Structure 1
Amino acid sequence: MGATPAADGWSTAAVDQDHAFDYWRDLICDAFVQLSARPVLPGPFAGSIAHRALGEVELSTVTADAQRVDRTRSLIARSHEDYLLASVQLEGFGEVCQDGRVAGLRAGSMAFYDSTRPYTLEFGDHFRQLVVQVPRAALPVARVRDATAVALCGPGPGRLVTDFFVGLAREAQDGHPAPGLVPHAVGLFEYALGLAGSSAPGPEVTDAAVRQTVHRAIARMAGEPGVSAEDVAAACHVSRRTLFRVLAAEGRSLRELLRDERVRRARVVLRAEPRLPIAAVAGRCGFAGEAQLHRAFREVVGVSPGSYRAGSGDS
């Protein structure tokens, strides 16, 4: 099934729901480069692309539901497409993975990826982003690899570049492509690429930063019962896959980290408030109930909460 562009772009609304994702897969291959894709949530899927070509720069506003997109070695070998692309996140959260790095995309941030090497884009929920696509031949940049999967975010020069492209795309969609600005697009794209390349961390630095973020999130969230991997991943702006990968490298599970933080809190409360019922201690420290507190406390401390309060076990 091929995708035929309408006046304002493409949309899965053009087909019935049973064929929506198959149609979407064709859309993104026609709009960008050859890609494999799959939905990551059950149920209906919807997506649309508003595309404009302005000289050598192509601008596509993508609005879609959760999905994973892969540019694989076999697709690269078959298609020989030579582009640099940048995702500017407008709504929702996503990840760009390439060259051993993972860039988290939140609203206002931008990350580059290269069509000549494998990459993955992953979105856990509904999102909207602007994709800027430029032929590699138009960019006299030697060290592209240093710039891929590095997020430019927050105030500063990178934000000025993202604002430029968002504004340019908006003007083009409204039928006013601002021709005076178009010649500057490639130069600003190259400039942002240089910013990303100069700030690229190695994968070990990236993982260390994610681990620190995860530990801070757990310390902040452990007091609430029922905290899930999805909750922690969302709080850290990473995918479940990235969350489990960095914890596996540390040799700890999410369950263990939550348990240890809740037990730490319980030890403080047990000694500070000796008359507080054990069930109330459990609720205050994020345990689902008294039995869960007893089990976790014995695993970590080696004695029951009551014995610990009475002075047994370490202090």
Structure 2
Amino acid sequence: MPDRMSPLVLSTESVSTQEAFDYWRDSVCAMYVRMQVDPLTSADFHARIEYATLENSVGLSRVRADAQRARRRPVDLQADAEDCILGVITLDGQAVLEQDGRTVDAKPGTLIFLDSTRPYTATWTSMFEELVVQVPTRSISVTDTRSLTAQAFGPGTVAPVVTSCFTSLFDLVSTDPAQAAPLVPHALGLFGAAVATAARRKSEPEEITAVLRQQVFDFLRSHACDPELGADTVASACGVSRRTLYRIVGGGGVAHHIREIRIDRAKKLLQRERYQSMGAIAAACGFGSESGFHRAFRESVGATPADYRQMVRP
């Protein structure tokens, strides 16, 4: 039986050319909210949605499609069972989004919010790719979203952290839903913090923590292979005190999380690099010595690196 978080794939490749756009229009309305969708090209239309349902009815999807216009009209507003906030992360291509009297250009790297309770328009003039986070309005602590919709959040805002988090989460949901499941609550906390920031409302402490936690773990994953990496370096890079850092990372402390990231990388190398020496793998993963790598790996995995390589070898 497929995992409940495994993405559902809807693609125009599954139907004839003549049926493609009608199929796409129905798919968009079924996965997101009711709207009018029209093609902007006379050529063959191609589009694809990979849609995963997370906890609390949160949707996370990747969309790749040809030029089109989607309009959420007043007549559509009563057609859905639940209202939602949409976080649109542009990965490729460009779009123009309109809501609440504002018009904004969506470019790669931007995060833009839309509210399904009011009309909006989204126009893509060429092929595009985007990640869409769909969160029920009841899960968002902001009561008035008019100050956050149809505005582009990019570098220098919370957008890069949100983009990194949900892009990585989608990739993990697609390949290993069981491993992704514990990360979902942290990702949703981060989304709530992003909404609060965009709405110019002071974030609640737990929302601030979600943002900082994501920043810390992004840094840890990027620098875990540095054998000199430690709490002081992480705290300085993320702009927090050591005390705050340890509160953010929780049980086991910074050293524990660095070790687990290194061991996870070592497991991938042991599976992929059948003939690479243990010393080379230890160094590539940030361990200061082969003996230290051997000891840490056995404590965490319950097997030596050599035994693990033998177990996972195809």
TM-score class normalised by the smaller sequence: 0.5 to 0.7
Do residues 32 (structure 1) and 32 (structure 2) align?
Answer: yes
- 1:85 aligned counterpart, secondary structure: strand
Which stretch of the first structure deviates more once superposed, 29-38 or 175-184?
A: 175-184
Aligned partner of 2:183 in structure 1 is 181
Q: 1:153 to 1:91 in 2, by over 3 A?
A: same
Counterpart pick for 1:190 among 165, 189, 192? 192
Q: CA separation in 1, counterparts of 2:13 and 2:35?
A: 21
Q: CA separation in 1, counterparts of 2:156 and 2:7?
A: 35
The total of aligned residue pairs comes to: 194
Q: CA separation in 2, counterparts of 1:154 and 1:73?
A: 33
In the TM superposition, residue 143 of structure 1 has moved relative to its aligned partner by: 2.3
CA contact (8 A) 1:97 1:149 kept: yes
Aligned partner of 1:42 in structure 2 is 42
In the TM superposition, residue 85 of structure 1 has moved relative to its aligned partner by: 0.7
Do residues 125 (structure 1) and 126 (structure 2) align?
Answer: yes
Aligned partner of 1:83 in structure 2 is 84
In the TM superposition, residue 8 of structure 1 has moved relative to its aligned partner by: 4.1
TM-score (norm 2): 0.59
Aligned partner of 2:103 in structure 1 is 102
Aligned partner of 1:145 in structure 2 is 146
CA contact (8 A) 2:9 2:51 kept: yes
Aligned partner of 2:71 in structure 1 is 70
In the TM superposition, residue 197 of structure 1 has moved relative to its aligned partner by: 2.1
In the TM superposition, residue 142 of structure 1 has moved relative to its aligned partner by: 2.0
Instruction: Look up the equivalent residue of 2:50 and give its one-letter code.
Output: A
CA contact (8 A) 1:72 1:118 kept: yes
TM-score (norm 1): 0.59
- 2:79 aligned counterpart, secondary structure: helix
Q: Deviations over 1:160-208 (max 9, x none)?
A: 1121111111111123452221112222112111222239xxxxxxxxx
- 2:168 aligned counterpart, secondary structure: helix
Q: Deviations over 1:37-90 (max 9, x none)?
A: 001122110000001111022101000000000111001133353111111001
Instruction: Look up the equivalent residue of 1:19 and give its one-letter code.
Output: E
Instruction: Look up the equivalent residue of 1:10 and give its one-letter code.
Output: L
Instruction: Look up the equivalent residue of 1:190 and give its one-letter code.
Output: G
In the TM superposition, residue 145 of structure 1 has moved relative to its aligned partner by: 1.4
Aligned partner of 1:60 in structure 2 is 61
Aligned partner of 1:158 in structure 2 is 159
Q: How does 1:226-237 map to 2 (within 5 A)?
A: none
Aligned partner of 1:21 in structure 2 is 21
Q: CA separation in 2, counterparts of 1:25 and 1:159?
A: 30
- 2:20 aligned counterpart, secondary structure: helix
**Percent identity over the alignment?**
37
In the TM superposition, residue 103 of structure 1 has moved relative to its aligned partner by: 2.0
- 1:77 aligned counterpart, secondary structure: coil
- 1:180 aligned counterpart, secondary structure: helix
Q: How does 1:197-208 map to 2 (within 5 A)?
A: 197-198=199-200
User: Which protein has the larger Cα radius of gyration, Structure 1 or Structure 2?
Assistant: 1
CA contact (8 A) 1:80 1:116 kept: no
- 2:64 aligned counterpart, secondary structure: strand
Aligned partner of 2:206 in structure 1 is none
Q: CA separation in 2, counterparts of 1:144 and 1:102?
A: 16
Unaligned runs of 5+ in 1: 1-5, 200-315
In the TM superposition, residue 7 of structure 1 has moved relative to its aligned partner by: 6.6
CA contact (8 A) 2:7 2:52 kept: no
Instruction: Look up the equivalent residue of 1:112 and give its one-letter code.
Output: F
Q: 1:8 to 1:135 in 2, by over 3 A?
A: closer
